Amino acid sequence: MKLRSLWVSALLTLGFSASAQAYNCSGTPAYVDGSGYSNGAVVTNNNAAYQCSVGGWCSIGGPYAPGEGWAWSNAWNDLGGCDGSGSSSSVSSSSSSVSSSVSSISSSSSSVSSSSSSAGGGNCPVWSSNEVYYAGDVVLYQGSYYLAEHDNPGYDPTISTWFWEPTPSCPGDNGSSSSSSVGGGNGFSSIVSEAQFNQMFPNRNGFYTYAGLVNAAATFPAFATTGNLTTQKREAAAALANFSHETGGLYYIEEIAKGEYCSGGATACGVCAPGKRYYGRGPIQLSWNYNYCTAGQALGLDLWSNPDQVAQNATTAWRTALWFWMTQSGAGYRPAHQSMVNGQGFGETIRTINGSLECNGGHPAQVQSRINLYLDFTQILGVTPGSNLDC
């Protein structure tokens, strides 16, 4: 139901977000798909003007192409039509197709999860224009396999290399490099076995148990289970590499310098609980009063009043790390989970976690440390690391 609502919302945004105001486009450059754009940049596209609001997304193009992509309104503001008509001339035609698009989504949404899951089991579905596909899905089209690089509402695999790329086989087929099973369990444990976990963290503190991680992963069932097996393994490796960097190989439970980390601003829980310090704890080194408040509310725990819980219970510690990984954008453009499953690459997970300090040349040695760990962990899991490792 949630997936269906997301696509309906996207289609409605595409169909009805146009503005009828006029804009003087004289001297305004034309939009070029895939070019780099920063916040505030103004371009023209299809006789309308748009201003970039999220540079990272504006620069991606494809689904964020202004006035065209299904998610464009998340990246651009519509400044109006160059001739005073806005982009409303296309509203009637596009809005008339919204209801039919929505109805096709309704009929196909019930089969999305089965189609996606089958892509990882050696029985890839035949492509259909009536299906919604997600990054990592693999389909059979005219005798060849194609891997979805980005979410799309059923685009032809041969039309755009942004949304699809050829792949040699269906994951799970005999001889496929991504078909080997690693854990033999369900969910996260089928992606990373306990033996592999121990290999990644030979000197870890006994507090950080594999069982605690598996239990925490059950709270976030999409973690390391979204997309095909290659995508799943890459996400697991990316998360564990960042957690390793934050904790010295899962050695430290608490930050050495135990500062107050009280922002002084009110949170939904209050400002700061008397006598409590919100220094880094757990695999992600959860810090600051507002993060303890928000994480606690999401997990059903009062971490604001009792932040020490994160350092006292292994499952709780892992859950806070996965909460941040799955839901928080941090210093980046999106949660780390989305960067991995949508193909933005490992470098964008670094940006989300500590990009304001490390990325764009801030601390290249720290970035390289994370990359090296990721390369080690992908090797342990038997998967290639993909592209865009740096930030």
Strand order in the sheet with 76-81: 42-45, 48-52, 76-81
What are the start-end ranges of the E strands in 74-173?
76-81, 138-141, 144-148, 164-167
- Whether 254 is catalytic: no
Distance of alpha carbon 212 from alpha carbon 216, whole angstroms = 6
What length is written for the chain? 391
| Chain Cα centroid distance, residue 360 | 20
Q: Which residues contact 29 (CB under 8 A, 6 or more apart)?
A: 43, 44
The percent helix, strand, coil of the chain (3-state, each to 5) is: 40, 10, 50
Query: Which residue among the candidates 131, 235, 246, 348 is catalytic per the annotation?
Result: 246
Distance of alpha carbon 164 from alpha carbon 89, whole angstroms = 30
Closest by CA position to 307, among listed 253, 355, 266, 352: 253
* Pairing label, strands 42-45, 138-141: unpaired
Structure tokens of 140?
Answer: 């059979």
Q: Which residues contact 258 (CB under 8 A, 6 or more apart)?
A: 277, 279
Q: Own/partner pairs for 96-100, CB < 8 Å, 24+ apart?
A: 97/15, 98/11, 98/12, 98/14, 98/15, 98/16
Q: Which amino acid, 261? A: Y
Structure tokens of 110?
Answer: 């019930």
Output the 3-class SS for 5-65: HHHHHHHHHHHHCCCCCECCCCCCCECCCCCCCCCCCEEEECCEEEEECCHHHHCCCHHHC
Structure tokens of 363?
Answer: 């601390």
Q: For helices 229-247 and 314-327, what crossing angle results, to 10°?
A: 120
Positions annotated as catalytic residues are 246
